[in-house]
A and B are shown apart, each in its own frame.
Chain A
Amino acid sequence: MENKRPLIALTAIFSLVLLYIPSVAVAVFSVNKARYGLAWRGFTLDWYMKLFENEYILNAALNSLILAVISTLVATVLGTALALGIDRSPWSGSFHRFFDLVINLPVVVPDIIMAVALTLAFNVLRMVSSAFDLGMTTLIIGHITFQISFVTLVVRSRLASLNKETDEAARDLFASSFYLFRRVTLPLIMPGVLAGAMLAFTLSLDDFIISFFTHGPDSVTLPIFIFASLKRGLTPEIHALSTVMLLFTVVLVVLAERLARRF
């Protein structure tokens, strides 16, 4: 066993380098004075300043934020309700297996297939109402469809870890169903709900494929904006924007991780 250790350490370092080199490179170039090329020409925060002057970027950022907030709120409520419903269902066995499959599908189905399916669905719905013209509404609906699964999975694992006797204890102590939910169930699953919401929020913020298929001309999000700008070549502004999004995501993931570990 002894002689395997340096190999393990080496593999670990190599993996970490592979994982983080691209992100670090983006961050480094976002503070490089050089407009073109890969040479280092000194430190600057100009590119970050320019971000806040660019109306298109600010607009895309606002769209991303509106989309993430609304879709996360809806998906968290629906996903939590779904998790509770499955957990409390009087049916067992095959019913649970069926729902586990249904919930896991959106997680494992490739985004591109989800995106195509949504496009098709909106095409059909558009014949019924113009509310389904591509835009913020379709974006929000699209994001909710994949966020629900993640929220439900996180909340369900939280529910599974709870002691069922606490529910019975609350009923035994004269709690009505509503009082039980408000004072016991909800506070106990709250870490899971918040962790699920954070996860859903980051997924929405970072999503490109589904957004690309379901957005309209007035609802460009940050990832779509970055993709569109790439056609004109990589610029330091894009590096700066990517770095901001990266930091934002990292903070959210760390918070979600901490919440999930409470109690």
Chain B
Amino acid sequence: MTGQIELGLMVAQAYKSYGNLQALKGVDLEVVKGEFYTLLGPSGCGKTTLLRIIAGLELPDSGRVFLGGREVTHLTAAKRQVNTVFQSYALFPHLNIFENVAFGLKARNFDPTQVGRKVGESLEMLSLSGLEKRYPHQLSGGQKQRVALARALVNEPEILLLDEPMSALDAHLRAQVQEDLRRLQRSLGTTFILVTHDQDEAMMISDRLAVMNNGVVVQTGTPRQVYSKPTNQFVAEFLGAANILPARRQGNQLFTNLGPLHVSETPYWEEGHLAIRPEHIVLEGEIPQGSVNCVRAQVREAIYRGQSLDLWLDPGPLRVRTNTRDRLGPGDQVSLFFPPDDLVALDNQPSRY
């Protein structure tokens, strides 16, 4: 078999069902060695099932998994150089922190001096030195999470899998941990694959991400690509707010209920949808004479959000996000400019997702 990414991870046509529930419906995935990759999707989209198949905790009904150019589809978790940080952390409650972190080394019969050294380094890397003799129930949530990380990383895995590791942390700590995790991955150069349903987390932490829904990968790319050029309505709406405009195409011209609009990439369809992010619509004082993609609208509702001001406009519903220096309220007339580069023609197959 050729084509698998050298020394990275490749999943080819993975299918998995539980009874009548199809968790994965033919998933392909390519992860380059050393990148921070995120599987993003709503609950029940199959992202955790995919992670478990990569870990070797679950066998796909069909499909293949390659790790570092070698097929591992039928290898058990114990035989893969992949380690996991579980959602519940799954620390061993009867073992102290040292023994928890040492578990993977001792299971492979590393000699005691080596175990001691590696565990020490690992604990120090995650600022856990001094907690060796404590037990999991004596630690805070953040400390438990770092122990789970140390326990996985001490084995120097080819890939570290993280199953929603931030979900048990409070919002303030979570932001801190996300940044720490990002730095940790950068300094180690290990491939990290994170599962999350939090699109902000996925945006800030990933090199690349795969958006999943209903057992399929809907779109892959860098956070910027996926956010600014969603290929379909699901991605557009799951990753933050989006205006979805029904449109008809005549030649190179697109007609919407806001009037004709120009798009930088003309779609293949006759009838479909355009998407634009609320913050990508430009508010202008005056519309230049004869300019394209300009529309006049009236503010119906203004929502103050601290760092931004959201305007709901007529004709619409149309949402525009602007900065709070604009003091606009209901009834105000505004002029809008739709940059052709930010207007995205969506893929016309909503039924598949």
**Chain A contacts to B: CB under 8 angstroms:** 163, 165-166, 168-176, 179, 183-184, 187-188, 263
Bound form: Cα–Cα A237–B76 in Å? 65
Note all chain A residues with C-beta closer than 8 A to B77. Answer: 168, 171-172
Asked if A166 and B92 make an inter-chain contact with CB atoms under 8 angstroms apart, the answer reads yes
Please determine whether A172 and B92 come into contact, CB atoms closer than 8 angstroms.
no
Bound: A223/B104 CA distance, A = 52
Chain B residues close to A by CB (< 8 Å): 55-57, 76-78, 82-84, 86-88, 90-94, 103-104, 107-108, 151-152, 155
| CB proximity of B178 to chain A, nearest CB, Å | 22
Q: A142 → chain B, closest Cβ, in Å?
A: 35
Are B83's CB and A168's CB within 8 A? no
* Complex contact A263–B83 (CB within 8 A): no
Given contact pairs A169-B151, A172-B83, A174-B107, enumerate 20 new A-B contacts (beta carbons under 8 Å).
A163-B88, A165-B86, A166-B91, A168-B77, A168-B84, A168-B86, A168-B90, A169-B91, A172-B57, A172-B82, A173-B83, A173-B107, A173-B155, A174-B78, A174-B155, A175-B103, A176-B78, A187-B94, A188-B93, A263-B93
Minimal beta-carbon separation of B59 from chain A (angstroms) = 13
Nearest CB to that of A187 among chain B residues? B94
CA distance A179 to B107 in the complex (A): 7
Q: Which residues of B contact A187 (CB under 8 A)?
A: 94
Residues from chain A with a CB closer than 8 A to the CB of B56 are 172
Which residues of chain B are near A179, meaning CB under 8 Å? 107
| A to B contact number (C-beta, < 8 Å) | 64
List the B side residues contacting A173 at CB < 8 Å: 83, 103-104, 107, 151-152, 155
What CA separation (Å) do A87 and B44 show in the bound complex?
26
In the complex, residue of chain A having the shortest beta-carbon distance to the beta carbon of B57: A168
| Nearest residue, chain A, Cβ from B101 | A173
Chain B contacts of A176 at CB under 8 A? 78, 107
Across-interface contacts of B155 in A (CB, < 8 A)? 173-174
CB–CB A174/B90 < 8 A: no
Q: When A163-B88, A165-B86, A179-B107 are in contact, do A171 and B94 touch as well, CB less than 8 Å?
A: no
Main secondary structure of the interface of A (DSSP, over half): helix
A-B contact pairs, 10 of them (CB 8 A): A169-B92, A170-B92, A171-B57, A172-B56, A173-B83, A173-B104, A175-B78, A179-B107, A183-B107, A184-B92
Interface of B is mostly: loop
| CB closest residue in chain B, given A176 | B78
Given known contacts A188-B93, A188-B94, is B86 in contact with A175 (CB within 8 Å)? no
Q: Roughly how many angstroms separate A173 CA and B86 CA in the complex, as a whole number?
A: 12
B90 contact from A169, A175, A263, Cβ within 8 A? A169
| Chain A residue, CB-CB nearest to B135 | A263
In the complex, which of the residues B76, B91, B151, B152 contacts A171, with contact meaning CB atoms closer than 8 Å? Answer: B76
If A171-B57, A174-B104 touch, whether A166 touches B76 (CB-CB below 8 Å) is no
Question: Would A175 and B94 be within 8 Å (CB), given that A165-B86, A165-B88, A169-B84 are in contact?
Answer: no
Q: Give the distance to chain A from B161, nearest Cβ to Cβ, in Å.
A: 9
Determine the chain A residues whose CB is within 8 A of the CB of B87 once the complex forms: 165
**Chain A contacts for B84, CB-based, 8 A:** 168-169, 172
Interchain nearest-CB distance for B52 vs A (Å): 8
- Complex CA gap A165/B86 in Å reads 7
CA distance A191 to B104 in the complex (A): 25
How far, in whole Å, are A79 and B33 apart by their CA atoms in the complex? 49
A166 to B86 Cα, complex, angstroms: 9
Which residues in B have their C-beta under 8 angstroms from that of A165? 86-88, 90
Could you tell me the distance between the alpha carbons of A175 and B87 in the complex, rounded to whole angstroms?
20
Closest to B154 in A: A173
In the complex, how many angstroms separate the beta carbon of A57 from the nearest chain B beta carbon?
Answer: 42
Inside 8 A of B104's CB, which chain A residues have their CB? Answer: 173-174
CA of A172 to CA of B153, assembled, Å: 12
Contact of B107 with A172 in the complex, beta carbons under 8 Å: no
B58 to chain A, nearest CB (A): 10
Residues of A within 8 A of B92 (CB): 166, 169-170, 184, 188
Give me the 3 closest cross-chain CB pairs, A-B, nearest first. Answer: A173-B104, A165-B90, A169-B90
Q: Which residues of A contact B93 (CB under 8 A)?
A: 166, 188, 263
A165 to B82, CA, bound (A): 16
Cα–Cα distance between A226 and B152 once the two chains are bound (Å)? 61
**A172 and B91 alpha carbons, distance in the complex (Å):** 12
How far, in whole Å, are A170 and B106 apart by their CA atoms in the complex? 11
* In the complex, residue of chain B having the shortest beta-carbon distance to the beta carbon of A164: B90
